[in-house]
Amino acid sequence: MATLEFGATSYQDPAEITKVLADEGIIYERWGTRPESCSDDSKVLEAYAPEVARLKEQGRYVHADLVALSPNTPGLDDICEKFVKEHHHDDDEVRFVVEGAGVFEVMSQKGDAMFKISTEPGDLVVIPAKRRHLFYLTEKKAIRCIRLFKDSKGWEAIYSRP
Ligand SMILES: [Fe+2]
C-alpha cells in the first residue's frame, strides 16, 4: 500500500491519499493485488481488465502494456539514471504497480515543493502531462507495472522545463 509524504505529513490511508493527491491533480486509486496476476503479461492485463477499460475510457488512453525492471534488466542503471532526474512528459504517466515498488516525487501544482508517493503492488498513480516529477526504485530494484498511453509513440522524458 502506498505512502504519501506531503510536507511534514505522512499518509498511509488510501482514502486520505486519494483525496490529498486529487487536490494536487494526481489520480491515486487502490486496485489491490490479485494472486493470478503474477504469471505472464496477458494474464496480468486480463486480471485487471475492468479497471484498465474504465481508465482508458476516463482518460482516453488507447494503449496498455506491461513494463518490468529488475536487477537482471540489461542497462538497469542507465534506465534508472534517466528517470531519477526531474522531467515531464507530453502524455500522462499512468502506472499500476503489479509487483515490486517504486517512488515518485512530484512537483506541487504551485511549483514550490516536491511530494513523495511510495508505491507498492495494487497502487495506481496517474501523473498528468507536463507535471514535473522524478522516479526511482527502492533497494530491491524491481518493479512490474501496467502502463497506459494516449499515444504509444510519443512517450519520452523531457528534462528542460516547459
Ligand atoms: Fe516520468
Give the long-range contacts of residues 78-85, CB within 8 A, separation 24 or more.
Answer: 80/136, 80/137, 80/141, 82/157, 83/134, 83/135, 83/136, 83/157, 84/134, 84/135, 84/136, 85/134, 85/157, 85/159
C-alpha of residue 89 to centroid of ligand 1, in Å? 6
C-alpha of residue 120 to centroid of ligand 1, in Å? 17
Gap between the Cα atoms of 55 and 84, Å rounded:
26
Bridge partners for 146 per DSSP: 66, 96
C-alpha of residue 56 to centroid of ligand 1, in Å? 19
C-alpha cell at 109: 501544482
C-alpha of residue 95 to centroid of ligand 1, in Å? 10
Residue 39: what pLDDT? Answer: 67
Residue 110: what pLDDT? Answer: 92
Q: What is the pTM of this model?
A: 0.94
pLDDT above 70 covers a percentage of the chain that reads: 94
Say which residue, 159 or 71, is predicted with more confidence: 71
Residue 80: what pLDDT? Answer: 95
What are the extents of the domains in the chain?
3-149
Q: In 3D, which of 128, 129, 161 has the Cα closest to residue 22?
A: 128
Note the pLDDT tens digit of each residue in 83-134: 999 999 989 999 999 999 999 999 999 999 999 999 999 999 999 999 999 9
Please give all residues whose CB falls under 5 A of ion ligand 1, grouped by chain where several chains appear.
93
Bridge partners for 28 per DSSP: 125
C-alpha of residue 135 to centroid of ligand 1, in Å? 7
C-alpha of residue 134 to centroid of ligand 1, in Å? 6
> Which superfamily is assigned to 3-149 in CATH?
Jelly Rolls (2.60.120.10)
| Mean pLDDT score across all residues of the chain | 93
C-alpha of residue 145 to centroid of ligand 1, in Å? 13
Residue 37: what pLDDT? Answer: 62
C-alpha of residue 17 to centroid of ligand 1, in Å? 20
